[in-house]
Chains A and B, each alone.
Chain A
Amino acid sequence: MRKEVVDSMAMKRALTRITYEIIEQNKGIHDVALVGIKTRGVYIAQRIGERLQQLETATIPVGELDITAFRDDQPVNAVQAPMAYQLDFDVAGKRVILVDDVLFTGRTIRAALDALMGGGRPQSISLAVLVDRGHRELPIRADFIGKNIPTALQETIKVSVTEVDGHDGIEIIN
């Protein structure tokens, strides 16, 4: 059973509100950088980046992060992929906003923190997610939330973005 809980209009509003909240909490966008977690987090980060640039007429670095090599569900003795620095800007001293589509157990975010810290010492890292669905397994919380969607464990949250899926929306699949 699939149910659309957020349509494209509501998703657009959520991204707009997150953008304003980023300006509110960072007192502007000085030193702010966005880092999207692959796959859909990247597109969400780009959209937030575009909105910030519209409002502040300044360029904001938007990077993408592949956390595959940092996951904690790989065998311990597996050959590690080279942990090359992936971003094309320096995070040292930046106020990094990590962006992902769904916040669930928190393990993806932990991996992303590892991947990010390898590149330097950011001034701060905060987290923006489109959906917080609960069921955390690590002490991690989001600073900017598009929508809180309480879910049961066996349900799946599917975030669609036009760039990958052809349309925008958030569905609960049971």
Chain B
Amino acid sequence: MADRYLILEDGSAYLGEGFGSPAVSTGEIVFNTSMTGYQEIITNQIYHNQIIAFTQPTIGSYGINHDSYESILPTVKGVVVRDVASISTNRQRRWSLDQYLKQQNIPGISHIDTRHLAKQLRASGPMKASIVDVADAHAFDQLGATVLTNQQVAAVATPKPFPNPDTGLNVIVIDFGLKHGILRELSKRSCNVTVLPYTATTEEIINLDPDGVVLSTGPGKPQDLPDSVLTMIQNIQNRVPLFAIGLGHELFAMANGAQIMKLSPEHHGANHPIREVITNQIIYASQGQGYAVNPDTIDRNKLITTFVDLIDGTIQGLRYRDFPAFSVQFFPDGAPGPTETRDIFDEFVESMQQARGPVW
């Protein structure tokens, strides 16, 4: 294994060992505190164009299996770990992490002091970083000159509608870069899903006669999306039950007058206790958010806060007061776990059934 460097925008450099692809790459670096679920995290499109540093010291110990992809092709720019497991065992294992990253042309770097890196990133917030072979002035100049795109959603969301047929309720999923977990949970509940691009208009959605609409997760900053998305949400939310997740939640809040703020430190992991306000129950959920709804900008005559993060008090869920439209900031599909939030999909299905009326 060759020596490689992780270099950061602020001039710091970490010496490590390369694994996965030998490519040189640049992206925004974020750290993730999940103990497990690296495959789901690497394939989650919210990390488009980002380098993920895992704080869990050993990554790769159970390999890559064919049940845990969250997208067809991952678009992360790099994987930073303390140790990459050279031996991985699992009955479902197909490849090692190293083999998988080679296939997908994603560079990895190990032997990094990820504890130090995480502390640095907690203080600084996410910044540009590169995985390179030589950490010289030229490499830093290149890194400094790189401009990262703000069109992440357009890069990862589907350009064309596609169906995921089943025999149950008719659900439209608006794709901002969705993770497969959303489709998986809807499939388990027999929903007849049509995925539409994020540019879908109100008319296109209503013409498909949905029982409910899901706004998916996705990468990037919600303010970078066109205003037409907000208009669509305003027109849809009072017509059919609406369930918004992640980026969709931020857009749902914006469509109802709230403002979005940068979150520091960001939430990437599954270790935050979250309180469900209505029952006072504490849950844990998988999170991946760089932005949050500013609680001071919420119009309380319109929205109710339904979930609150107990570490920093950020809003994790909202609901419209006058009709069944609700949202969560975290990933309720439990991929990777914890899985205790999956019944929010049942709540959505029951809202749709209620809106349709009894079957007799």
A134 to chain B: closest residue by CB: B360
CB atoms of A24 and B324 under 8 A apart: yes
Q: How far is the CB of A73 from chain B (nearest CB, A)?
A: 26
B166 within 8 A of A: no
CB-contacts of B272-288 with A (<8 A): 277-280
Interface size on A, residues (CB 8 A): 22
Are A10 and B346 also in contact (CB < 8 A) when A17-B351, A24-B324, A150-B360 are? yes
CB atoms of A132 and B358 under 8 A apart: yes
CB atoms of A13 and B343 under 8 A apart: yes
Are A148 and B304 also in contact (CB < 8 A) when A16-B279, A17-B350, A28-B321 are? no
Q: Assign chain B's interface to a size class.
A: 10 to 19
CB-contacts of B256-308 with A (<8 A): 277-280, 304
A14 within 8 A of B: yes
CB atoms of B350 and A51 under 8 A apart: no
CB atoms of B359 and A17 under 8 A apart: no
- Main SS class of interface, A: helix
B120 within 8 A of A: no
Residues on A with beta carbons closer than 8 Å to the beta carbon of B354: 17, 21, 145
Residues on B with beta carbons closer than 8 Å to the beta carbon of A55: 277-278, 304
Q: How far is the CB of A153 from chain B (nearest CB, A)?
A: 14
Residues on A with beta carbons closer than 8 Å to the beta carbon of B350: 13-14, 17
Are A23 and B304 also in contact (CB < 8 A) when A13-B343, A16-B278, A55-B277 are? yes
CB atoms of B278 and A148 under 8 A apart: no
CB atoms of A17 and B347 under 8 A apart: yes
CB atoms of A24 and B323 under 8 A apart: yes
CB-contacts of A122-142 with B (<8 A): 132, 134
CB atoms of B343 and A24 under 8 A apart: no
Residues on B with beta carbons closer than 8 Å to the beta carbon of A16: 278-279, 347
B301 to chain A: closest residue by CB: A28
Complex Cα distance, B201 from A76, in Å, reads 64
B277 to chain A: closest residue by CB: A54
Complex Cα distance, B279 from A28, in Å, reads 18
B179 within 8 A of A: no
CB atoms of B359 and A20 under 8 A apart: no
B48 within 8 A of A: no
Residues on B with beta carbons closer than 8 Å to the beta carbon of A24: 321-324
Question: What 1/0 flags go to A145-172 for Cβ under 8 Å of B?
Answer: 1001010000000000000000000000
Residues on B with beta carbons closer than 8 Å to the beta carbon of A54: 277-280
CB atoms of A9 and B360 under 8 A apart: no
B180 within 8 A of A: no
Number of A-B residue pairs having CB atoms within 8 Å of each other in the complex:
48
B319 within 8 A of A: yes
Residues on A with beta carbons closer than 8 Å to the beta carbon of B323: 24
Residues on A with beta carbons closer than 8 Å to the beta carbon of B280: 54
CB atoms of A148 and B360 under 8 A apart: yes
B326 to chain A: closest residue by CB: A20
Residues on B with beta carbons closer than 8 Å to the beta carbon of A94: none
CB atoms of B343 and A9 under 8 A apart: yes
Question: What 1/0 flags go to A20-52 for Cβ under 8 Å of B?
Answer: 110110011000000000000000000000010
Residues on A with beta carbons closer than 8 Å to the beta carbon of B321: 23-24, 27-28
A95 within 8 A of B: no
A110 within 8 A of B: no
Q: How far is the CB of A12 from chain B (nearest CB, A)?
A: 7
B358 to chain A: closest residue by CB: A148
Q: How far is the CB of A144 from chain B (nearest CB, A)?
A: 9
CB atoms of A20 and B322 under 8 A apart: no
Residues on B with beta carbons closer than 8 Å to the beta carbon of A13: 343, 346-347, 350
Are A27 and B322 also in contact (CB < 8 A) when A13-B350, A17-B350 are? yes
Q: How far is the CB of B175 from chain A (nearest CB, A)?
A: 27
Residues on A with beta carbons closer than 8 Å to the beta carbon of B347: 13, 16-17
Are A20 and B324 also in contact (CB < 8 A) when A14-B350, A148-B358 are? yes
Residues on A with beta carbons closer than 8 Å to the beta carbon of B343: 9, 13
Q: How far is the CB of A25 from chain B (nearest CB, A)?
A: 9
Complex Cα distance, B241 from A21, in Å, reads 12
Question: What 1/0 flags go to B195-230 for Cβ under 8 Å of A?
Answer: 000000000000000000000000000000000000
Q: How far is the CB of A147 from chain B (nearest CB, A)?
A: 8
Complex Cα distance, B278 from A51, in Å, reads 5
Q: How far is the CB of A128 from chain B (nearest CB, A)?
A: 12
Enumerate 7 A-B pairs (CB-CB under 8 Å) in ascending A order: A13-B347, A16-B347, A23-B304, A28-B321, A54-B279, A55-B304, A148-B358
* Extra A-B contacts (8), CB below 8 Å, given A10-B346, A13-B346, A134-B360: A9-B343, A13-B347, A17-B354, A21-B324, A24-B324, A27-B321, A28-B321, A54-B279
10 closest Cβ contacts across the A-B interface? Answer: A148-B358, A51-B278, A13-B347, A54-B278, A16-B278, A150-B360, A24-B322, A54-B277, A55-B278, A55-B304
